Every structure is written in C-alpha cells, then in structure tokens.
Chains A and B, each alone.
Chain A
C-alpha cells in the first residue's frame, strides 16, 4: 500500500479585487499630493510664467512681421527664419558667435586652470590672490565695461598712454570691428576666468591624495601626474565648467552692449536679437526668430554635452 501523499486541497485563491481609484487615492495619498502641490505649484507656476510663457510667446512672435511699437502685425509663418538664414547676416552673426564662444570658453577654462594650479600651491598671499582673482566675476558687467573702455580708448586710455611711451600708436580698439571683438573677448575672459579658477581650485583640492602620492612614489614627475592623473580626475569639474561657461558665453550681453553699442563686429546671436528688436530696426518678429535659433542652439549643445561628453567623464 502506498501511501499517497496528498496535499490538503487548497482553497481557491480569490483574485483581489482591483482597487478602485478612490481606494488608490487614499486619504494619505491625497494629503501627500496636496502637500506636494502646495510646495511645488508656486514654483512650477513661476517657472511657467517667467520661463515657458515668454518662450512660447517668443516662438509665436517669430512667425509675425511685427514692428516693435506697432499695435498690429502680419502673420508670415517661417519668413523671418528664411530671411535670417538666407541673409549675409546669418553667416556673420553665427561666425561671430562661434568665435566669441569658443575663445571665451577655451580662454576662461585654460587660464582658470592655470590660475587654479598657481593658487593651489603653498605660497604666501594665496588667500588674497584667490579673492583678487574671483573679484572681477562678481563685479557688474556695466562697470567693468566702462572701466575697460577707458583703458582701451585710443585717445586718452591707459593702454594708449603705455603704447605712446614706447613710440607706438594705439590700435582703433573701439571703431575697428575686428579689434572690437578682440577687445570684448579679452575683457570677458578677464572677468570670468576667476569663476573657472575657483571651481578648478575646489576640484584640485578634492583630488584623492593617496592616488597622487602613489603616482609620485611610482616615479611620475609633476607634469606627468598633472596630465595622467589630475586632468582625468578633474573631468567632472571640466564637464561642469564646459556646460556653464558655454551657456553663459552664448548669452553674454552686458559687456558687448556697453563696450560696442553699435555691435559692429561684435554682434553675437543674442546681441543681434537685441539690436533688431530694441535697436534702430524695431523688427520684433525677426528678432524673435533669431532668439528661437539661439534657443535651439543652446538646447542642442546641452543635449549633445549630456549625451556624449559626460560619457568620457571620470567621477572617481
């Protein structure tokens, strides 16, 4: 006789009834949701009103032939975009924007890193030097622009005075379009390298000392340690700076406005948008189209950086 082992028949498992929406949104959930709304909604509303509303307004205006100050406008679809991209302005403005952005981002970051390396050394006066290097970054762009205009003035500027001392004439920094761009780039890099220096300095001071010491024990010299160890370990800092400085360079306005109000040679996308709407032309629709182009470029750059550049970053 075999004993048949049989399990006690199980009670049929009744499927649980699906929770009704009311059950899913229990009192606790609802309370949490209202807390969330109370905390987040004001901020979302602010972002909506001050960021998204102007953005959508701007996109709408870019489809109009609208003279600023005029109560009426004509819908022209994509005409403003076509006009911009088929005019010689587009090449000039995009070229100026590219030159300005690449040099100011590269200049600020390279010089900022060099300054950070100097400030990271244990020599006297580094505390004062750190403050001095960072100070221009927090100064008003308008004030900085006015002071540097005086320095660059070919008639009675400090630079002209120094050049005359060695028998040289001052270049026409302000009137010559090419030199105007050089002048604005110099001042922009001077103003912003302190920011890069401070961020790099923080990065340098947080490098793992054991790794650096190990490299040193292995016989790596200072240059080798910097290139093979410090730079890769600083890549998160570099990545952060690359995004922030590129975005701020593409949106640089105050120095350009103060130092070269005509925008002759210094008209970047953002300044061209300003000149077209609020300068002499009053082409609000055309200006809005240029702003949308700038927005698209900023968006693409940010996405590309996040998508591709971040992959090469070493976080540890």
Chain B
C-alpha cells in the first residue's frame, strides 16, 4: 500500500514544524528588565589572568591597517603571552558598529577591543555594551593625565571613563596652493567664509577646476563638518538638549551655503569623498578629516596647503569640532579577555605608538608627551591639526548623542544643497525629527 501524502497531511506536518518554530521564537532579548547600562559598576580585576588571545575589531581609520599590524607585532614582542588578532570589522564606523551591535544581539563573537566613533560610544554605553575603564586604568596604571584632556573628556559620563581616544581628528581646510597662487591669493586658508566668498570667483576664473570649494559628501558625515558653518554664523544643531537648528542664525548659515552652490555657483557637493575630489583636482579647496591628510598628500599632483577651518560673521573661533574614534572594551566578554584587551589598549595608546599611528595616517597624537619631531619633519601639515585642537569646540549633543541624527542631518543637507529646498522649512522639519528621536530614544536613558 502506497503512502498517500496529500495536501492535508503535508500541511499537518508543516503546521507541526511551524508550531515548534513558534515555541522556539520565545528567545531574543529579555522583556523583564530595563535597558539601562549594565557596565556601570566597577569591575574588580584583582587576581584575574589576562586571556591568551583577543580579537581587535577595527575599520582601520585613515588606511591604518599596516601601522596597526606593526604596532601589534611590537605588542607581541613585549607581551608574548597575549595574541592580538586584528579583524577588519567594517569599512567605516557605521559598518563596525553594525557588526558590533549584531554580535551583541547574537550574544556571541564579541571582540576584546573595538573601535568606536564619536557618535556610537554613547549608544554602546546606554545599551550596557561597554565597560567603564576606571578600574583597569588604575590597575594597569594607564596615564590618563598624559592624554589630550579634551579628547579624554569626550568619553566621560557619570564620572566614569568609557573609552580612550585612538584615531582622533578634526576637520581641516585643504587648499590647492597652485590654484591659490594662480589666482593671486595669499598662501593660507581663509579666516572667514566671507573672505573665501570674495576669493572664490577669482579661483574659479583662474584654476580651471570645476569648483572653488566642494562641500563634503552628504552620505559621509555632513552633520559633522556643517557644524563649522553653523557655529560661524552663531547657530548650531542643538544647544545642550534644545534643538535650535531652525534658529535664524542656523538658517542664515545654511542659506549662505545654498547660495554658494545655486546663486554664486562656485561650490559643489561631493558625491563620495571630498578629499578624493580635491586630490583629483576637481576643486580648489575642501574640508576633510585630518585622517585624510596622508592620503591626499600621496595622491595629489599639486602642492597641498592645509589650514584652520574658516569662521563666520558671528564667530571666528572656536568653529572646529573634534571627531574620529576611540577604543572601548565590551561588557559581554570574560574578565580575562577584558584585562588582556586593556593591556593592549594601554600599549596601543603609548606615546611612541600614537606618534607612529599619527605619522602613518595624519590623525592627531592623543598623548601630550608623544615625540612628534620626526613625524612633523616628514609631514609638517600635521602640526596644523595639532595646533587646531586648542581652538576646537565640543560637538552639538544632537549630532553625537541622538541615534540616526547624523543621517537625518545629511538628508536635510541634501534637500538644501542639492535640491535647493527651502532652508527654513527643511530645518523646521529636521528640528521636529530630532526632537522625536530625543524623546523616544535618548531622554528615557539619561540620568536625571
């Protein structure tokens, strides 16, 4: 007698499978507790032996893979009992964050040490994904006082240190010295955007480049660099937790930017990477991270000048944000791994290693005692980035603490700078979006 597997039998079997699947579906996150940070308590590492092997997740900021490997080799020579595996965990800060968050959800495969950007570390903190480093700093005698104070302070919350600076940058004003000379302009960055507005037509007339200035790519970090324009005009994305991106000053700043593209027609917007556009000679000037410096110097076939970011009609200084990445230790790994990671973190940020990293990438040295003599002799432009640190300003809360705010700012910038959208209306809409994100995703997690 043949087995008669009709549709009803088959569906019955499928239903049984589906039922089992539904039971299995009762996994995922716990729905009983709160989402508050879990790494807040000081961890006691006394008596803990460092793990024999850790993974270091990096996106190799500033094309730093080779120098990271070189520093890891030095670490292996000094600490033969700890093996560091360098893992390419993404091509940028967002991809590395995606991998890190996904591993948190899967509760497996976490690294010992992870690169975290200025807009991600707070989210890791609020999700309880990273540990406070204070007890490790004490146990391993990490010289926090020797770090650049403002860079260390960026990762402080509730009197605890959640990360240490690594590939830290500021935006720089890059200019084509040959174009400036041909236009009869002084060999320096403009002091203000108004001054550059006077220079731009001369540059465009004499350089043959497509643009006198190109705004950084919107899909990159438009929210980061546009703070320079906003601050120069007396505006900002936010003042503490008040979202004032639709203020008269902020609107005036972005209106000026829009006019430079559509009315005065000397500026454009980069589609991918402004530093590459600049190095390719498409534009006479741009703003890009110090982390792009070495790459630009290598690929540009002209004399490259760098300077401080221009100010605006309301403020000439400070109008420069800091940015870049730090290093943090996940909470979801063993104490042994955390201790080994902290040992490597200490080594990675030693003065000689931060100088080596800086020389290879253009990022600022994070330690004040780093001997930069040889580095500056080879690449004197790094000095501009180092000096500019003294006139930097803390980034707007809206950009660094609101999940997805950077993307919303980029969309608003796209509406203004590529579609010639109404600036006031766009900023009013952005304000509503930012307030919504704050109310839903941030306010409930803030300590009163």
Contact = CB atoms under 8 A, between A and B. Distances in A.
Interface of A: 26, 28-29, 32-33, 36, 40, 44-45, 47-49, 52-53, 55-57, 59-61, 64, 66-75, 149, 153-156, 172-178, 260-262, 264, 275, 278-284
Interface of B: 1-3, 5, 13-14, 17-18, 20-22, 24-35, 38, 94, 98, 100-102, 104-105, 119, 123-124, 127-129, 210, 217-219, 268-272, 277, 280, 282, 403-407, 410-411, 414-415, 417-419, 437, 441
Contacts of B415: 177
Nearest to B402: A280
Contact of B35 (A49, A72, A154, A279): A72
B407 A153 contact: no
Nearest to B210: A155
B407 A73 contact: no
Contacts of B210: 155
Contact of A64 (B5, B22, B31): B31
Given A57-B28, A280-B403, 19 more contacts: A26-B1, A29-B3, A44-B13, A53-B21, A53-B24, A53-B25, A56-B21, A57-B24, A74-B35, A154-B268, A155-B210, A156-B277, A156-B280, A175-B219, A260-B219, A275-B407, A279-B404, A281-B437, A284-B105
Contacts of A45: 17
B25 A56 contact: yes
A262 B407 contact: yes
Q: Identify which of B21, B100, B217, B406 gathers the most chain A CB atoms within 10 Å of its CB.
A: B21
A155 B25 contact: no
A260 to B, nearest CB: 8
15 contacts: A44-B17, A49-B21, A57-B25, A57-B28, A66-B29, A69-B100, A69-B105, A69-B127, A69-B129, A72-B30, A156-B280, A177-B415, A264-B219, A275-B407, A280-B119
A280 B404 contact: yes
Contacts of B35: 67, 70-74
A60 B417 contact: no
Contacts of B104: 68-71
Contacts of A52: 17-18, 21
B98 to A, nearest CB: 5
Contacts of A282: 101, 123, 403
The 10 closest A-B pairs by CB, nearest first: A280-B404, A69-B101, A32-B3, A174-B271, A48-B17, A69-B104, A73-B29, A56-B25, A175-B418, A53-B21
Given A29-B1, A280-B94, A281-B403, A173 B124 contact: no
Contact of B94 (A29, A36, A55, A279): A279
A282 B99 CA distance: 12
Contacts of A44: 13-14, 17
B28 A66 contact: yes
B277 to A, nearest CB: 5
A57 B35 CA distance: 20
